[in-house]
Amino acid sequence: MASTSSPTPSQSTHKFTYDVFLSFRGEDIRKTFLDHLNHHLKQKGIHTFKDDEKLKRGECIAPTLLLAIKESRIAIIIFSKNYASSTWCLDEVATIMECKEKFGQVVVPIFYDVEPSHVRNQTRSFAKSFTKHQKFFKDDKGKAKVETWRNALREASKIVGHDLQGDKYNGYELACIRGVINDIFKLLPTQSIQKNLVDLESQLKNISTLMKMSFRDDVKLILGIWGMGGIGKTTLARAVFAQLTERFYYACFLADIRENHSKHGLVALQEKLVSKLWMDSSMRIDDVDQGIQVIKERLAWRKVLIVLDDVDQQEQLDKLVGDGEWLCKGSLVIITIRDKHLFTQFGVAVECYEVKKLDKENALQLFSWHAFKKESPNNGFVDLSTSFVTYAVGLPLALKIWGSFLCGRDNKQWKSTLEMIKTIPDEEVIEKLKISFDGLKDGEKRIFLSIACLFRKKSRDYVEEVLKSCDLHPGIGISVLIERSLVFESNGCMDMHDLIQEMGLRIARENPRRRMIWQLDDLLDDVDHEEMEGVLVTFRDRYSYNENISCLIEALKGMKKLKILIVEGYGNDFYSKTNRSEFEESFGRNIIDNYLPSSLSGFISHIIIYFHYPKALIHQSLLGFIYLIVHSKPAS
């Protein structure tokens, strides 16, 4: 295993965008070993950079790759027979070894079909490659470059890594992949889950102590993590998952169950659980009862680690893990929840851990990290900071939002904000959080509401493309929202805390000037649709579509200011090619040509409907742009 030295000062302040950079020779392993390794890393929640996924067509390769290396916490170098034949690969390994020295980057070599000595001494296929390079790089600069490559290979081969053909794996690729993933989990620090986490280590220690008393290989255990919204349940569950996942070959973090149940239904959740746990994206579940049978049969004979995040109904537990008896011995299910009473259904061992509010010392530290970018307040702000901590009553989300909002503001603005907070009752958490929204500029408010109502969990590039067409400035605006802790970027997608989204949805509902709709039921209400600027409509199945399409058409007719229209279709009956074609015709050309106001539809020249990945299609009109995105995919 690669050595795990303590982070150097430069490493602790260095920006990391990716967990792992994958360096490889594509023609040797792209469709085999690399594909499987990358898939398994992603299944475990590890954020990877693999050049054919991340590079955009027409982009200059070298600078993009070199930047990705520098912004990766760990570099996996897969040495294969033709690795050294590529000057790009050699530039990568040279940069990786440079980053190891400068930033403390961790390097994990894999010797796929070569021996470490072949790499170290540049023999066999490596010798042939360097013979060609020496003929091409003849001048002094070229000779120096070749020597840099040679040195990088020597140093990389000295690191203890994973030898596929060695005694440990004996050529078995799956065993090697498991070994690499276990290695990566040990190398990734817990703090990489989220920056500036306060009191995380002590909470992890408490949970570890709790589990030692109950969790054994002959026991099925339910671990409940419960507490109020915004207290940090999901963050803690992710940290526990990261610590334990290496012990389980079958592991799944099922996020945002409350939201996904409401939006897509239980069948979609069942399919996602099956897909993530057993990497079976081909599984199609027709109804909830079939889903129960499939999950029950598979859980019975496999030791699994499952996290069910943000559960709010008994039905969700019943249909996903039953009463716990479905589980194989040695399995662990972690559930984040606000209502502790829901744990009473289980017939197996249950341990509950309450996530409590931060004490004043830790609360002040968290607030300071976001307000001053350090552990303690600046001189002249100690008393004010203490007052904000008092009114936050130990709620991490409020401390984070307020600290980010106040960062860089003067003493007078701090006092004014504090006076506003004092007037809001303690139980009105969302109203307290709304102060950060009120401090935004108008364009920033529109961007925030668009993300909250329409674009949560959509890729940042996609969101920016759409919002640019609405005469906004998302590049700057999104950066401001991130600085204010109102949104964050996760694996390239825009996201936010549930309470922050709830705040945005409430603002959009109550303010007719910022009217956006995100649920079909809201759209079908008897309200004035004329001010609508954005609409997100989700059909769970063909029945829902057939039942509501006529009402939707009537609503669209009155939307004189519509700029963004997103239609999502989920479920198996939207997925076949025949149904997709039918849906494209009935919703796409039919509605655009016949039912949208002429001011919107008259300038639309063509329609493309995307079914697998949401992409934007720009339709220029007198009022700006319309985006029609029909997103139909398997529920997994």
Catalytic residues: 92
User: 517 and 535 in contact (C-beta within 8 Å)?
Assistant: yes
Alpha-carbon gap, residue 11 to 174, rounded angstroms: 32
Cα separation, 165 vs 147, in Å, equals 28
| Nearest-angstrom CA–CA distance, 516 and 532 | 6
Work out the burial of residue 610: count CB atoms within 10 Å of its CB; fewer than 13 is exposed, 13-18 middle, 19 or more buried: middle
Nearest to 600, CA basis, from 540, 533, 541? 533
The SS3 assignment for 216 reads coil
Q: Which residue has the tokens 């592991």?
A: 251
DSSP states of 598-625: HHHHTT-------SSS----EEEETTEE
Taking alpha carbons only, the member of 219, 211, 8 closest to residue 106 is 8
CA atoms 165, 170, 173, 174: torsion sign: negative
| Cross-strand partners of 251 | 305
How does 557-570 read in b/e, with b if 16+ C-beta sit within 10 Å? eebebbbbbbbbbb
572 burial (CB, 10 Å; 0-12 / 13-18 / 19+) is middle
Roughly what angle, to the nearest 10 degrees, separates helices 460-468 and 474-483?
130
Token look-up 């030791």 returns 303
Beta strands in 408-456 (DSSP E): none
Helix 396-406 with 360-372: angle, nearest 10 deg: 30
Residues near 312 by beta carbon (within 8 Å), at least 6 away in sequence = 257, 258, 337, 338, 339
Range list of H helices, 196-335: 200-212, 233-244, 257-264, 266-278, 288-299, 314-320
* Rounded Cα gap, residues 273 and 291, in angstroms: 10
173, containing H or E segment = helix 173-187
CB within 8 A of 221, min separation 6: which ones? 211, 214, 215, 331, 332, 333, 348, 349, 350, 351
Q: Which two tokens stand for residue 535?
A: 């609409």
Q: Which residue has the tokens 């401390």?
A: 399
**Residue 200: how many CB atoms within 10 A of its CB?**
17
